[in-house]
Structure 1
Amino acid sequence: MFCQIYFLIFNCIIIKINGVNIQEENLMNMLFGRQSQYNALITPIYNLSEPLDVYFGLTLAQIINVYEKEQIIKVNVWLQLRWYDYQMKWNPDRFGRLDSIRVSPELVWTPDLVLFNNGDGNYEASYKSNAVITSDGYIQWIPPAIYKLTCTINVQYFPFDEQRCELRFGTSGGSATQVRFGWYATPNSMELSDYVPSGIWTLIDAPAEIRTIQSSESPYETRSEMVFFMIIRRKSLFYTVNLILPTMMISLLSITLFCLPSDAAEKMMLCTSILVALVFFMLLISKILPSTSLSIPLISKYLMFTFIMNLLTVFLSVLSLYLNHHRTSILTPVPYWMKIIFIHALPTCLFLNKPYENSHSNRKRISSINSPILLRKMKIPQPDLPNEINYLIEQFLEISNDIKYLSKKIQGDTEEMKIFNDWKYISLVLDRIHLFLFLIVTFIGTISMLLQVPKLFEVHQDSLLTPQTTTSSYSLNK
């Protein structure tokens, strides 16, 4: 009993499906058969005095990649098209209440939409999906597409840059008198209900507009364009951790140069190592950014600024070594004006202790030993003294010449040491001056470059607009 009931139900379903297929076949013959005289190449305009209204929208699915060097952006979008074809109407009651059918887009007229700012030569949709025709004559077509569009990439504030790119759609041959664009569902905006956020770029806004462009040459025709904008901002965390922070650390590493003694030759090795590291980062940035001369990236300016400061460090390190070795080797006395500036005036301002001078006391002690009055008294014989004392005096007088020679030698070494210490102290003062200049200029330069970046401390999230997805909310921009 139950098997017979199931068999009857199954037969009814099969009969109904076959009936629907027959009704669809009859409808297709009526619309696209030999007797219909329908031509998919002719624009379905019922009244030649009025243009065909094409409701157009764009759904952004994903920002696949941004090629900075080629200045091309690859996106995944869905085109939303709807228009009225007066030849596609039928009475649903005549065809088993069939109110919609799906047909290949080659069978019906479709707008020849192209992306004007295309970057790879594929101007049309990559996949031709089926078009949905309703009984009231409206045709809906939603093909997917992956476009590569050209966009001028402004890298002046890299990696805190913000880009504004546009997708310009229009008909390849139709004028505004034949085709007129209107909004599909979301007016003045791109639909973002299915947008997948990117890990590199933040979508701030996606406005849209309809442009009417008039030709500057005869016959002065006008054409309409649908322009969709993408305002995106780069997520700078990756570049901050892997590029900016190492650059700043290398810049601050130059401070350790001043911790070394002024006559240490290792300063030159450390300076050249820092310069090589900065050159490496400059080459790395040049591989990422486009080769443009319109603007210099801010990070390149900062690297060049750090590079110049390190070059100045190398120059002053060479000067310090020159003062320590060359001037002391030829025993060139320090000029008086340098003593006044670098030994007496600047050390107090640079928080340095003045050198301790004990040469006067040493000179006084040596002069007391070599006093001519003392030697004259010792040369006069003293009859009251014992013979042993007179003998000791005679012995002392014999070695007085040796004592004079030694005293002159000690005095000469003291003068050489004083000259050496003066030049060494001047090189220390120069190192301290360079340290203060390096800290002040680096701090001011870093802060000024950070202040040039617009909206540096603003946090943006991907804009997810709530589109109007109802099928009845179609508006036309008059």
Structure 2
Amino acid sequence: MAPMLAALALLALISVSEQGPHEKRLLNSLLNSYNTLERPVANESEPLEVKFGLTLQQIIDVDEKNQILTTNVWLNLDEKNQLLITNIWLSLEWNDYNLRWNDSDYGGVKDLRITPNKLWKPDVLMYNSADEGFDGTYQTNVVVRNNGSCLYVPPGIFKSTCKIDITWFPFDDQHCDMKFGSWTYDGNQLDLVLKDEAGGDLSDFITNGEWYLIGMPGKKNTITYACCPEPYVDVTFTIMIRRRTLYYFFNLIVPCVLISSMALLGFTLPPDSGEKLTLGVTILLSLTVFLNLVAETLPQVSDAIPLLGTYFNCIMFMVASSVVLTVVVLNYHHRTADIHEMPQWIKTVFLQWLPWILRMSRPGKKITRKTIMMSNRMRELELKERSSKSLLANVLDIDDDFRHVPPPPNSTASTGNLGPGCSIFRTDFRRSFVRPSTMEDVGGGLGSHHRELHLILRELQFITARMKKADEEAELISDWKFAAMVVDRFCLFVFTLFTIIATVAVLLSAPHIIVQ
């Protein structure tokens, strides 16, 4: 092993001794008369052709809020007649007219490594740079070959401005331009040409977890600016990327749908539980937090409203409306007869037609179209009957038949017939009456019983009125509670339909749904 290492060291020394003097002599021959300010062309009237290409290695970050695209590039500048190839690594390759030699004259030396500050190179910069130092490349050596071609591969992190379109966020595609051109040489002195008409080289691209690369076409442009009459040539590469929506789908859209479904379940919660309104307000606060998370990732612009923001606003509107309608439901549920009187339109809408449409029924009452029509007809007949009955019959809620039936025997005109409802009193009165012996006894007995009858009627009217009022109050409270239940069921159907339509509309309106 030791002799082998010694032999390798000897070969290395021999090689250095042979190539070292030739390389030094070649460098002195090339650089002694070389002028870094001279544009390396044979004819100064002709433009120097620079082939420009770009190799995208990695998309480091897309800052939507500040609208900045950060990429890792190699810059390729080919100066055979000046060739700029941005490989992302920016890789520059060109052919210098003043850096040509015959390798046989210099011991077979075919290439050199020279620092860029000792050579001429085109001042190609990215026009839309957002970097603090404007040029984010690191200066490395230039590889010069005997035919004059120069290869310059400075690694760098490029930050370029990018107009972010948030209309379809998070189902959006972004087109970010990277515009490269000479800063001082116009089109008559330096002509940029695309190395590959298809655009940038994507063979070394590293997959990004947030963005999917669609393509990177390139285009040559010749523009005359207001500052100068000469045309300037630039090459613009458009990085076409598509957002991977899997993260946003499972971390924003799915939780939003689940939270909105919880708001729908709030309509099935009984009002007596005491948590109906609390649930709605809590869900509204949760959606507000999710909306803030979306707003933090988007630029503060008013050019467009993001699709996800529109969806969140629709769901928030639905939840806010559910909170308002929950207040209405609780108000209806806790109404009493001594404070509120149910209007006729509420009875018609919430006690008849809406329950029939929603297929709801009350215990012992089946609500159909036929029963609704019969109930309305019975109410009309009852109003007519009440208008034709006497005051006493309306008060006691008895049949008004004493005006038509002749009085029974052994009765006086003052007592009259009180109808079937008072037949027991009439029997008791007859039993209590004893044939008087004198006229005074007759007059005294009739007066005493007349007073007793008036007292009994007064008490009977009071008890009947109280019982009737209690029944009416209980029935009215039951009607209000059923109306609240109908509003709950109606809101459940309406908001469920609204949530489904909004979710489906958002997904179908997106240019694409999911990119893995």
1:366–1:7 distance in 2 versus 1, CA, 3 Å:
closer
1:379 partnered with 2:419? no
What is the rounded CA distance, in whole Å, between the counterparts of 1:408 and 1:18 in structure 2? 129
1:196 partnered with 2:206? yes
> Contact 1:115–1:167 at 8 Å: present in 2 too?
yes
Please provide the CA RMSD for this pair.
Answer: 3.0
Residues 4-56 of structure 1 deviation map (CA, whole Å, 9 limit, x = unaligned): x99788545423321101110010010012xxx21011211211221111122
- Higher RCO, 1 or 2 (CA under 8 Å, sep at least 6)? 1
- Which of the numbers 265, 280, 304 marks the counterpart of 2:289? 280
User: Helix, strand or coil for the counterpart of 2:472?
Assistant: helix
**Percent of pairs with identical residues:** 33
User: Helix, strand or coil for the counterpart of 1:351?
Assistant: coil
**Hey, what does 1:30 align to over in structure 2?**
29
**Hey, what does 2:331 align to over in structure 1?**
322
What is the rounded CA distance, in whole Å, between the counterparts of 1:163 and 1:405 in structure 2? 82
What is the rounded CA distance, in whole Å, between the counterparts of 2:286 and 2:420 in structure 1? 61
> Contact 2:194–2:218 at 8 Å: present in 1 too?
no
After TM superposition, list the pairs within 5 Å mapping 1:37-436 onto structure 2.
Answer: 37-83=33-79, 84-184=95-195, 186-216=196-226, 220-262=229-271, 264-326=273-335, 328=336, 330-354=338-362, 356=364, 371-381=421-431, 406-436=463-493
1:401–1:193 distance in 2 versus 1, CA, 3 Å:
same
1:118–1:375 distance in 2 versus 1, CA, 3 Å:
same
1:355–1:31 distance in 2 versus 1, CA, 3 Å:
same
1:337 partner letter = W
What is the rounded CA distance, in whole Å, between the counterparts of 2:479 and 2:34 in structure 1? 104
2:210 partner letter = I
Residues 389-447 of structure 1 deviation map (CA, whole Å, 9 limit, x = unaligned): xxxxx9xx999987775554333211110111111111222222212211122222222
Structure 1 gaps of 5+ residues are 385-393, 461-478
Cα offset for 1:257? 1.2
TM-score, with length taken from structure 2:
0.78
Residues 81-140 of structure 1 deviation map (CA, whole Å, 9 limit, x = unaligned): 111222111111111121211111111101111111011233335211111111112222
- Which of the numbers 475, 487, 504 marks the counterpart of 1:447? 504
Cα offset for 1:215? 3.0
Structure 2 gaps of 5+ residues are 80-94, 367-377, 379-393, 400-418, 435-448
Residues 144-167 of structure 1 deviation map (CA, whole Å, 9 limit, x = unaligned): 111111101112221111110011
What is the rounded CA distance, in whole Å, between the counterparts of 2:138 and 2:28 in structure 1? 26
What is the rounded CA distance, in whole Å, between the counterparts of 2:432 and 2:24 in structure 1? 154
Cα offset for 1:75? 0.6
1:255–1:108 distance in 2 versus 1, CA, 3 Å:
same
What is the rounded CA distance, in whole Å, between the counterparts of 1:419 and 1:53 in structure 2? 93
**Hey, what does 1:387 align to over in structure 2?**
none
**Hey, what does 2:13 align to over in structure 1?**
14
Cα offset for 1:211? 1.1
What is the rounded CA distance, in whole Å, between the counterparts of 1:21 and 1:354 in structure 2? 106
> Contact 2:181–2:192 at 8 Å: present in 1 too?
no
